[in-house]
Amino acid sequence: MTSRLSGFTLRRRVQFAEVDSAGIVHFSRYFRYMEEAEHAMWREAGLSIAATGCEVGFPRVAAAFDYQQPLRFEEEFDIHIRIVKMSARSISYRCVLRRGEDTIASGTMTIVCVDRSVTPLRATPFPSEIADRFEVAADID
Amino acid sequence: MTSRLSGFTLRRRVQFAEVDSAGIVHFSRYFRYMEEAEHAMWREAGLSIAATGCEVGFPRVAAAFDYQQPLRFEEEFDIHIRIVKMSARSISYRCVLRRGEDTIASGTMTIVCVDRSVTPLRATPFPSEIADRFEVAADID
Amino acid sequence: MTSRLSGFTLRRRVQFAEVDSAGIVHFSRYFRYMEEAEHAMWREAGLSIAATGCEVGFPRVAAAFDYQQPLRFEEEFDIHIRIVKMSARSISYRCVLRRGEDTIASGTMTIVCVDRSVTPLRATPFPSEIADRFEVAADID
Amino acid sequence: MTSRLSGFTLRRRVQFAEVDSAGIVHFSRYFRYMEEAEHAMWREAGLSIAATGCEVGFPRVAAAFDYQQPLRFEEEFDIHIRIVKMSARSISYRCVLRRGEDTIASGTMTIVCVDRSVTPLRATPFPSEIADRFEVAADID
């Protein structure tokens, strides 16, 4: 694998336990959707966000969503995630959820690479086998 | 009850199922903490965010968190929520999580009042029995 | 569609937020896995467990799991669900989770059909368009 | 502390995100309620179910619930948990949820003590500082 990944799209269906009593997906759940797409992108890159025995971890330092339209039970939707910024120690993603042509919500998330053996957590450069697999997306809007 | 509420503090303990495999509270969980404090504030105001038979609902249109320090299993912490903006149809909150003197994370959330009987959802003014119970906090920083 | 369904198998991957701080899928999560397979079976039968405007609902009256082996992050596994008992007002399922040849856990769940317009909830016969789509599995062990 | 604990009661309020689109607490959530009461009992005994650096862990090998009545948003209820069986390597609990005088649901859960440093997980005797803090409840019905 020589090409670098800058984005990924995951198709997903709304599950029953994700819907709240207002009949729409609970707003906190979108952050898990964004994370599922991120982890699928890492797998596509041949990596795991939480590899056994790995000395670094990737806590989130910021996350946000703007909600345009509700999602309902059993609807299928796409989670588009792209890398919009990358430094030695952090990656920022932008994420858009779409149901067909409709934009449901758009979010952002920033992760940092930390040394898991140190307390308190402190940022450290991504190992090259991770850094070399990703790049910033060309089509940032 | 004549005084209006502009904030609330809820004490909470981290539960086991809220902690992820990195040993810290999962980042998506903070949005539920913020919401729990919001709903406790509404109860303190004599209201329910989801009253039976109520014709209006309060979907979230934006939510965000910045994470400073991790929270761990069984730690006690405070969720401080304040109203930082109010209009006829929306309320914006600011929320800070603290463990003792330490700031853990700070978030924001905006809700709108919608008529539940109309599809698609459309913003409508808060009923006066709700609007009259709240006001913007004086100590916005 | 004239044939009746008696079981279904859903392939699933363990997501990060489903794993607890012991590094294994939290035991409460298995009940959601079982339910996801049930709902996929209903969709396969051309039905929805929570159809818009439907006058009946299907609360669970019993659910149980025995856990044999742990599931870990990113593992793929199969959720096999079968109907083991059916009456006019209830369906009982048996569910086995397998990772390859390994049995991870086995569970049971019983649902009843209730009239949603009545309080308190009271069992009522399944509508024929639902009852006619399912049957008890032949291979109950 | 010389007396042994055999049970505990935790008061809890239903939170919004725990309620599903049928307007009742999702059935999987009851297992988290049972676990919260268990962990509160361990804290009451001066212990933590997941102490930092602890060499043993306590996976669940069986869990079940029977559901009698629904729980709804903002209702307060009590989670009563009691030890009904104890051996060198396992503890079995019985749990009843009540809202006032009404029984909502009753459950069971069995945990085993395992050595966390060994794979696959294998049962090992509870350390005496744990075993000495608990006993079977006298009033098992």
- Whether the CA torsion B111, B116, B121, B124 is positive or negative: it is negative
In a domain, B141, yes or no: no
Helix (H, G, I), strand (E, B) or coil at C75: coil
CA distance D138 to A138: 69
CATH assignment at residue B22: 3.10.129.10
Given B22, B50, B60, which is nearest A27 (Cβ)?
B60
* Residue ranges making up the domain that contains A73: 7-131
Helix (H) or strand (E) holding B42: helix B29-44
The model's pLDDT over A124-136, given as tens digits with 9 standing for 90+, comes to 999 999 999 999 9
Query: Which subunits sit against B, judged by 3+ Cβ pairs under 8 A?
Result: A, C, D
Provide the token pair at C14.
């363990």
ipTM of the shown complex = 0.95
Q: Which residues of C touch D61 (CB under 8 A)?
A: 66-67
Cβ-defined contact of D19 to A20 (cutoff 8 Å): yes
The model's pLDDT over C87-103, given as tens digits with 9 standing for 90+, comes to 999 999 999 999 999 99
The pLDDT score that the predictor gives to residue C71 is 97
The model's pLDDT over D73-94, given as tens digits with 9 standing for 90+, comes to 999 999 999 999 999 999 999 9
* pTM (two decimals): 0.96
CA distance A108 to A83: 10
Cβ-defined contact of B62 to A66 (cutoff 8 Å): yes
Closest CA of chain A from B22, distance in Å: 8
Q: Per-residue pLDDT averaged across B26-42, rounded?
A: 98
How crowded is the C-beta side of B67, counted as CA atoms within 13 Å? 23
Residue D109, pLDDT above cutoff 80: yes
Across chain B, how many H-helices and E-strands are there? 2, 7
CA distance C13 to C73: 8
Residue B1, pLDDT above cutoff 60: no
Q: Per-residue pLDDT averaged across B77-93, rounded?
A: 98
Cβ-defined contact of C62 to D60 (cutoff 8 Å): no
Work out the pLDDT band at A52, boundaries 50, 70, 90: confident
Work out the pLDDT band at C120, boundaries 50, 70, 90: confident
Q: Per-residue pLDDT averaged across B52-75, rounded?
A: 95
In chain D, the percentage of residues whose pLDDT exceeds 90 is 87
Cβ-defined contact of D73 to A23 (cutoff 8 Å): no
In a domain, A137, yes or no: no
How many distinct structural domains can be found in chain A? 1
The pLDDT score that the predictor gives to residue B2 is 62
Closest CA of chain C from A17, distance in Å: 7
In a domain, B1, yes or no: no
In chain C, the percentage of residues whose pLDDT exceeds 70 is 97
In a domain, C141, yes or no: no
Residue A55, pLDDT above cutoff 70: yes
Q: Which residues of A touch B21 (CB under 8 A)?
A: 50
Helix (H, G, I), strand (E, B) or coil at B35: helix
CB < 8 Å & 24+ apart, contacts of A38-43: A38/A8, A38/A81, A38/A93, A38/A109, A39/C15, A39/C16, A39/C74, A40/A8, A40/A10, A41/A5, A41/A7, A41/A8, A41/A81, A43/C74
Could you tell me which residue, C102 or B118, shows the higher pLDDT?
A: C102
Closest CA of chain B from D36, distance in Å: 7
Of A103-112, B2-11, D23-32, the range with the lowest mean pLDDT is B2-11
In a domain, C121, yes or no: yes
Residue C83, pLDDT above cutoff 70: yes
In a domain, A115, yes or no: yes
Q: Which residues of C touch B23 (CB under 8 A)?
A: 21
Q: Per-residue pLDDT averaged across D32-59, rounded?
A: 95
Q: 């709903």: which residue's tokens? A: B39
The model's pLDDT over C39-77, given as tens digits with 9 standing for 90+, comes to 999 999 999 999 988 899 999 999 999 999 999 999 999
In a domain, C136, yes or no: no
Residue B140, pLDDT above cutoff 70: no
The model's pLDDT over B102-112, given as tens digits with 9 standing for 90+, comes to 999 999 999 99
Q: Which residues of C touch A36 (CB under 8 A)?
A: 15-16
Residue C141, pLDDT above cutoff 70: no
Residue A17, pLDDT above cutoff 80: yes
In a domain, A113, yes or no: yes
Provide the token pair at B70.
């991790």
**Best of A14, A21, A75 to disrupt the D interface by mutation (most D CBs within 10 Å)?**
A21
CA distance C97 to C116: 32
Given A16, A20, A23, which is nearest D17 (Cβ)?
A20
